[in-house]
Amino acid sequence: MNFGILGTGVVGRTLAAKLIELDHSVVLGTRDPAKTILKSELDGMGNPPIRVWLEKNSKAKLGSFTEAAVHGEIIINATNGVGSLNALQIAGEMNLNNKILMDISNPLDLTNGMPPSLFISNTDSLGEQIQRAFPNVLVVKTLNTMNAYLMVNPRLLANGDHSVFVSGNDTAAKAAVSKLLQSFGWEDIIDLGDITTARGPEMYLPLWLRTWGVLQIPMFQIKVVR
């Protein structure tokens, strides 16, 4: 299957590598591919520039947001939450319509430093804003409650015995996303309901960030115990 991933940070790269491992075709989208490929400095997390990553992951392709959206049968929004709507607008509504959009972004406001606050909460969510802006796109919120490495390999922690959530208005789209999550190794996939339920996983982020601050490691996750 063809995937278009919007975002070239650690989340986008980690998802791309896993999808390629599973024999999918991936185009990573960025605002300015020519500028991005010339970067030589490490990112804020100490990761190498995308040029170095592409040399090691030659099956992945780098393109614009539009090219990634055109390529993808499923689109993954792995952009910074502040820029997500703009990135999707650049990708082009006609290139997104009637496709599944996995939204992994979080509405984090870093203007006052760490820990960040949420610029959307309580009565709205970023997932809902994306759905309203693109009514013909099948938005499914998922994977936003953990670090990138757990997203694609849940067995890194507790042999995979923890939970992932999906939210969205379209039942078939959520089923397709759940099938993809199963191919990553997920077993406990909890369908929270329509896209308004994305508020819950997004509002979990302040707790996640504070837990990270205490533990000093990001390798922890939610397990819903029945």
Give the model confidence (pLDDT) of 177-201 as tens digits.
Answer: 999 999 999 999 999 999 999 999 9
46 phi-psi bin (left φ>0, alpha ψ -120 to 50, beta other): left
Least confident residue range of 15-24, 44-53, 148-157: 44-53
Q: Average the pLDDT over 41-65 and give the result.
A: 88
CA–CA gap between residue 43 and residue 54 (Å, rounded):
15
Is the pLDDT at 94 greater than 90? The verdict is yes
pTM: 0.95
> What span, in angstroms and rounded, lies between the C-alpha atoms of 185 and 72?
22
Domain 2-215 falls in which CATH fold?
Answer: Rossmann fold (3.40.50)
**pLDDT at residue 11, as a whole number:** 96
What mean pLDDT is reported for the chain? 95
> What is the pLDDT averaged over residues 18-39?
94
Q: Give the pLDDT confidence of 24-34 residue by residue, as tens digits.
A: 999 999 999 99
Task: Give the pLDDT confidence score for residue 38 in this predicted structure.
Answer: 85
Share of the chain above pLDDT 70, in %: 100
Given a contact cutoff of 8 angstroms between Cβ atoms, the answer to whether 171 and 192 are in contact is no
pLDDT at 192: 98
Give CA angle at 186 (205, 158), nearest 5°. 75
**pLDDT band for position 114 (50/70/90)?**
confident
pLDDT at position 113: 82
Q: Which two tokens stand for residue 156?
A: 């890194």
For the residues of 153-171, what is the DSSP string, one character each?
A: -GGGTGGG-SEEEEEES-H
Q: How far apart are alpha carbons 128 and 201 in whole angstroms?
A: 12
pLDDT of residue 111: 87
State yes or no: pLDDT of 222 exceeds 90. yes
User: Domain coordinates of the chain in residue numbers?
Assistant: 2-215
Q: Give percent of the chain above pLDDT 90.
A: 88
pLDDT in tens, 122-164: 999 999 999 999 999 999 999 999 999 999 999 999 999 999 9
